[in-house]
Structure 1
Amino acid sequence: MPAEQIHDIGRRRAWAIWAVALSVYILAVFHRSSLGVAGLLAAERFQIAATQLAFFTVLQLLVYAGMQIPVGLLLDRYGAKRMLLTGLVLMTAGQLAFAFATSFATAVPARAVLGAGDAMVFVSVLRLVTAWFLVRQAPMVTQLTGQLGQLGAIAAAGPLALALDRLGWTRTFAMASSVGLVLMVAVVLLVKDSPYRTTEVVKVKMRALARTLRSVWGNPGTRLGMWSHFTSQFSVTVFGMLWGYPFLVRGEGLSPRAAGLLLMVMTGWVVVSGLVMGSLVARFPFYRSRIVFGVVVAIATAWTAVLAWPGAAPVWLLVVLVCTIAVGGPASMVGFDLARTFTPAEASGRANGVVNIGGFMASLLTMALVGLVLDLREPAGVAAYDLTDFKVALSTQYLFWAIGGTQILRYRRRALDHLRRVHPGAIETMKRGEPFVHPGFSDREGV
């Protein structure tokens, strides 16, 4: 017997719940991006080299990516509200510990805890989107979630830099951690897991969850979403979270204020381009992975122009670069929309967890490689880096574009073959511009 619906789907209550969940995600992005402008200050505070500086963010993203599958399983078992609250507790504790850390050894576990809390937020917000919005609304709301979440990065690029200058390290990060306490209250009071009458989230046995996880992973559509996320997201993440600011200041010779402004322009363009991307995805569902591939080609082309430019690139070209790589953020969100096509709602936590691994694995590997190359070229440390060092180090991105682009083309073909075999008529539906709603796992799903 179907559950009784007690709230409207896609109406005022849905938007209110989404707004609260979105606020948690904005805070998560702020915490995640905080080292983007605090990196040079952190290097001085903890007396560390580039490899150790990169390790902060790499560890944070490694914890984030490594927890996606467990978080997906827990999300499908316990629901989005509990996961959002747990994530807020961990992020608040991690950022507070980071505020008072005075050595590399004490700062590292703080960032790890922060990454663990961050890992629980985004997929929980997507679960609420799936539950509270109509199928035709979901692609646009998903894009809005990803792009408005970048307001956290804008806050990290501008106000955080100002606060660090005026208030200092400890007071700034301690104040940032306190925001989580306010949002905990909002989540408890306002967020509901479902518009249907349920006394609690349905408890599914972990053994059954693990079994369906094999179906989710074996599905080529899920892997297409993962590789789309992998290939399109890492450049904007690497640039915004760690190496963009040092590259612009130490390499291109911009002032800290100009570099921060460019990072804000990049983040603002993420939001604007996300609205366009959401409309394209909703209108042309059959061509989603092709759109992602085109964005990746554009990003690689923009980086080629900057890296090949003799000497420092002109400001207009840097503006083109940050706006182009910004589109990678909305393009990576298409991966979740692809997963929704190939996965029923009850397994969305696991599918989104698999997809979310992609971009963050690529990001952490790229960050680590960039730091390693910089240290190999300049053992003297951060103060000795020049433009050539950054150009060589940032060229490591081409490896991941090549791998990811090849996998997108490979799994697009496999995913289409899968739909023809398991869900006849699905391809024709998407070619007409209509969304395909997954009817539920069948015996042949994922084989």
Structure 2
Amino acid sequence: MITEERKLKTYRWYVWGALVIAYIIVFFHRLSIAVVREELVEAFDITSTTFANLGSAYFYPYMVMQIPSGILADSLGARKTVTLGTLVAAIGSILFGYAPTIAVAFLGRFLVGIGVSVVFIAILKVQSQWFFEREFATMSGLTAFMGNLGGIFAQTPLAVLVAYFTWRTTFIGIGVISLGIALLCYMVVRNSPADMGLPTIESLEGKKREIIKTPPLGEGLVKALLNKRTWPPFLAFVGFFGAFMTLTGTWGPSYLMEVYGFSRQEAPNYTTVAMLGLSLGCIIIGKISDAMKSRKMPMLGFGGIYVTTWGMLVFVGGGKPPVGMLYPLFFAMGVGCSTFVLGWACGKEVNHPSIAGISTSIVNIGGFLGAAVLPPILGRVFDRYADVLEATALFQKAFMYCFIFAAAGFLFIFFIKETHCKNIYEENKQK
């Protein structure tokens, strides 16, 4: 038994590691389009709104696929789901790189969004099978940290690759690498320890394995949607993630080049720092939450930092903070944005354990709804006022929407039910 336990505790990191490599690709595609804005505008002769919609073409299918992703993870299992999803993303990336027209570029971006949409929910499913419940927030934070490395790669390193190889070759190359990652996941990932004849997590904790009857999909979905406690973390995620993706994934490098005069290679350094802050924040907030046995208090603390940084970006210096402030400001913004990591746990812990996948998926939809809707709003501001306002005033006007989204997300944290890091569905039902 000791040998089997050791094998489980070792092999689970191989399973998690293979899935996280796929998740790095998820974040790369999520943020990559901001760095190649000038190249895309030149290649396809598109407006700011069309460019923003091209970025959103990733988020809309990602958002819609969150519930189906949970179904696939439960039915096909994480192994096959991530393998197939990564294959679709690889095809989309290659198609995007080859795209002769903007319509084909949209199709490639759409396929990437569909393909990568299944990865995160599958990782959560695997975590529930291979890791202890007390490790959930910490592992979610660690997963987000590793995924964000892909976001960091989509900043300065991507700018260097594009300058050296061109944007088309770079995206085709990422597609080819994704094919190898899909094969790796199929070879390494196992859905649960039972697939290898290993003991369950419950048995290692000395618990009797609960047989939880999973309700039909429609019934489970309705239960989660009708639970009023599902919505505050959803809405907080809309505001926080929407604003952050708008900056780092769509308009940030353009802001830094047009307002501060940075070069195409220099501007992504600042969004890289924001991604680094988010990566570290995801680990820190997960550990703090697990150690404090609290979800809400860390969210209020980190969320307050996040809203403050957006206020500084929009209001200090008339929308142009001193250059010396930018690195610490962007880093603090990333750290503060990590608040959303605890939203997944909040959504899971206020719903019945039998619908943990569905409830987590619903909360996850919120972030991608914000990331899909907000960038085109800014795009319309740029198209409408570009000939009227100078760059600083133009971006200040546009980023005001990001500040509003972030502030609204922070307010919804106050409505989140404190779970003390455990499932409280039955407790609340009895009250």
Quick one: distance in 1 between partners of 2:106 and 2:56? 11
Pair 1:362–1:140, CA change in 2 (3 A): same
| Residue in structure 1 matched with residue 123 of structure 2 by the alignment | 125
Inter-partner Cα distance in structure 2 for 1:443 and 1:321: 41
Does the 8 A contact of 1:227 with 1:407 survive in 2?
A: yes
Cα deviation 1:252-291 (Å, max 9, x = unaligned): 22233331211222222222222321211101233x2232
Match of 1:157 in 2: 155
Provide the C-alpha distance between the structure 1 equivalents of 2:390 and 2:176, rounded to a whole number of angstroms. Answer: 36
Find 2:93's aligned residue among 83, 92, 95.
Answer: 95
Q: Which residue of the partner structure matches residue 261 of structure 1?
A: 269
- Percent of aligned pairs with the same amino acid: 23
Structure 1 segments of 4 or more deviating over 3 A?
A: 6-10, 204-207, 343-346, 441-447
Alignment of 1:369-380 (within 5 A): 369-378=377-386
1:36 aligns with one of 30, 34, 37? 34
**Cα distance change, pair 214–198 in 1 and its aligned pair in 2 (3 A):** farther
C-alpha separation in 1, matches of 2:172 and 2:214 = 38
On the 8 A contact 2:89/2:175 being kept in 1, the answer is yes
**Which range moved further: 259-268 or 68-77?**
68-77
Shift of 1:385: 6.3
Change (3 A) 1:197 1:150: closer
The residue identity in structure 1 corresponding to 2:381 is: V
The match for 2:254 is 246
Give the Cα–Cα distance (whole angstroms) in 2 for the partners of residues 91 and 301 of structure 1. 36
The answer for the alignment partner of 2:303 in structure 1 is: 296
Aligned-partner residue type, residue 393 of structure 1: A
Task: Name the CA distance, whole Å, in 1 between partners of 2:157 and 2:67.
Answer: 34
**2:331 equivalent in structure 1:** 323
Identify the residue that residue 424 of structure 1 maps to in structure 2: none
Aligned to 1:396: 401
CA displacement 1:375-408 (0-9 Å, x = unmatched): 110269xxx9612111101101233234333433
Letter of the 2:346 partner, please give it: L
For 2:77 and 2:321, the matched residues in 1 are separated by 48
Do the aligned residues in 2 keep the contact of 1:20 with 1:186 (CA within 8 Å)? Answer: yes
Taking a change above 3 Å as real, the CA distance of residues 264 and 12 of structure 1, as seen in their structure-2 partners, is same
1:94–1:110 CA contact under 8 A, matched in 2: yes
Does the residue aligned with 1:309 lie in a helix, a strand or coil?
helix
How many angstroms does 1:205 deviate by?
A: 11
The answer to whether the aligner puts 1:436 opposite 2:418 as a matched pair is no
User: SS of the counterpart of 1:136?
Assistant: helix
**Secondary structure class of the residue paired with 1:34:** helix
Instruction: Give the residue type in structure 2 aligned to 1:166.
Output: Y
Tell whether the 8 Å contact from 2:311 to 2:403 is kept in structure 1 after alignment: no
Distance 1:198 1:275, change over 3 A: closer
Offset of residue 370 of structure 1: 0.8
Q: Which of 212, 230, 235 is the equivalent residue of 2:243? A: 235
* Matched position secondary structure for 2:191: coil
Q: How many residues of Structure 1 are paired with residues of Structure 2 in the alignment? A: 414
Instruction: Determine the C-alpha separation between the residues in 2 that align with 1:260 and 1:385.
Output: 22
* 1:49 aligned partner, one-letter code: T
Query: Secondary structure, in 3 states, of the residue corresponding to 1:282?
Result: helix
Residue number in structure 2 paired with 1:419: none
8 Å Cα contact 1:215-1:446 kept in structure 2? no
Quick check: 1:28–1:118 contact (8 Å CA) kept in 2?
yes
The answer as to whether partners of 1:232 and 1:328 remain within 8 angstroms in 2 is: no
Change (3 A) 1:256 1:346: same
Shift of 1:50: 0.5
Structure 2 residues without counterparts, runs of 5 or longer: 198-211
1:356 maps to a residue whose letter is N
Q: Which residue of 1 aligns with 2:22?
A: 24
Change (3 A) 1:324 1:291: same
Matched, 1:279 2:287: yes
Q: Which amino acid aligns with 2:399?
A: L
Aligned-CA RMSD value: 2.8
* Counterpart position of 2:350: 342
Counterparts of 1:93 and 1:242 in 2: how far apart (Å)? 23
1:73 deviation in Å?
2.6
CA contact (8 A) 1:236 1:328 kept: no
The whole-number CA distance in structure 1 between the counterparts of 2:339 and 2:383 is 32
Q: Alpha-carbon deviation of 1:345?
A: 5.0
The TM-score, its normalising length taken from structure 2, stands at 0.88
Name the residue aligned to 1:422. Answer: none
Q: Which amino acid counterpart does residue 408 of structure 2 have in structure 1?
A: I
Distance 1:328 1:82 in 2: 35
Q: Secondary structure at the match of 1:193?
A: coil
- One-letter code aligned to 1:210: G
Q: Distance in 1 between matches of 2:429 and 2:225?
A: 10
Q: Does 1:332 align with 2:330?
A: no
Structure 1 residue 207: Cα displacement = 7.8
Structure 1: runs of 5 or more not aligned:
1-5, 417-426
1:94, CA displacement in angstroms?
A: 0.6
2:65 matched to which residue of 1?
67
The answer on whether the counterparts of 1:72 and 1:351 sit within 8 Å (CA) in structure 2 is no
Taking a change above 3 Å as real, the CA distance of residues 62 and 23 of structure 1, as seen in their structure-2 partners, is: same
